[in-house]
Chain A
Amino acid sequence: MKTRRLTVGMLVAASALLGGCVTSTVDEMVFNAPTVESMEDASVVILGRRHASDYETEPDFISCIGDHIKRGNSEVEIIAELDFMNALYPWFEPRTAPLRPADIDRLLLQPPVADKLADLKTEYMIWIDGTTVQTNASGSMSCAVGPGGAGCFGFGTWGNDSNYEATIWDFTDKAEVGRVSTSTSGQSYMPAVVVPIPIIAPVKGTACDSLGDQLLQFLSSGY
């Protein structure tokens, strides 16, 4: 009994230490370096693009990027996506959101919108477009439950691909100032001998870190 517990414990510990392999590529294009001397009196909003019919940029990915930037530079004030969308409802819903920086002028023609944006001191608006998908899955696993206990046996593997692009708009100049994209893929495994041991490739997390690092570097480079 002790040996079995020890084996299970070792397998769980091994799975915590092991992770599936992940590869990540980041591309960056900066048209204009940040002109703001300090982000102390300015804020940044990160929004997900939700125009595509077959996928949707995940809200948790948007908050992950925001948290990553905040952890890296506490001076950068990030407005939460839903708070921003609620404060400016209905102008940043998928149907009404500006698609080009020039569309901001159209929004600013409305005094309540202009006042709210001035209150929020929005300096940069970052649009994230993309998603994480499962690319392939194979293997089989069977589990059984009986009066004496439960257990699984088999092996499963699957891949994940993350593709995200961040477009940075300068709110003062009403211009696009940069683009960062990341492409991440990884393979996860789940062997099961009595207990399934997931060895998960942190594909989405790596994409978040890669994109977050580049955006943090951009936002921190002006000062």
Chain B
Amino acid sequence: MSGSMTSDPRQPTRQALGRWLLLASLLLLGACGAKQVVVTGKYPQPLMSRQPLTLGVFYPDEFRGHEFFDEAKGRADSDWLVKTGDAQIRMWSTLFNGMFEQVIFLDEAPVGDTEVPEVDAVLIPRVDELQYAIPTHTNIKVYEIWMRYAFELNAPDGTSIAQWTMTAYGKTPTAFLQTDEAAVNLAAVVALRDAGAHFATLFPNVPDVANWLQSRNRTVAAGTTP
């Protein structure tokens, strides 16, 4: 005990200095590492009259695990990995449940001529493209996320009813003590909300969907099974 108390007094200083140097090196190296964002957020149910449809929804694996990777362009840049898969599923599932009378989430992809039972149509969403911009790229004090979706609406027997694309955009201003990751997450949440808003207002107005809905309503009104 006394031995340790009377040992070289410079020893703790050296250890402390070593720790500080290690910490400083880690901080400096950390600045060069990849920045990763797993998008998290809450998404409200849409406030609208539900479409009288039983909709089958299939999320492809690429959609469920959607992520975007951007390699650093230079030494001053960082690699970016933005994972939106979980957030996509949460947002779209909440939206579909609020938009349609009944929603059945399919575990397996509808194949060929095999009819999917008990649904009026099957919707398959995909993320075609995602782009992001941060203030260091644009010199504008906003973080931006832009996404392009592709949708397929098929009849239960697999024939195509409609195919369309749709964009979504989200931005958030810079804020004091806000990290790049937190700002990109917020921009992604705004983009997802925008995607939901765009889909909710666009869906009944996509020409092929509108025609299908009209003919379906006529058939239902005539009292025959569509």
Q: Which residues of A contact B (CB under 8 A)?
A: 50, 54-56, 58, 60, 86-91, 93-96, 110-113, 116, 131, 133, 145, 147
Contact = CB atoms under 8 A, between A and B. Distances in A.
B47 interface: yes
Majority secondary structure of chain A interface residues (helix, strand, loop or mixed): loop
Contacts of A133: 141
Majority secondary structure of chain B interface residues (helix, strand, loop or mixed): mixed
A93 B197 contact: yes
A89 B196 contact: yes
Nearest to A113: B47
Interface in B28-67: 44-49
Contact of A110 (B17, B48, B175, B194): B48
Contacts, number: 58
Nearest to B138: A54
Nearest to A83: B44
B194 A93 contact: yes
Given A60-B175, A90-B48, A95-B194, 11 more contacts: A50-B171, A54-B140, A54-B142, A55-B142, A56-B171, A89-B47, A93-B193, A93-B197, A95-B197, A96-B201, A113-B48
A91 B20 CA distance: 53
Contacts of B49: 110-112
Contact of A91 (B47, B140, B198): B47
B173 interface: yes
Nearest to A91: B47
A88 B47 CA distance: 6
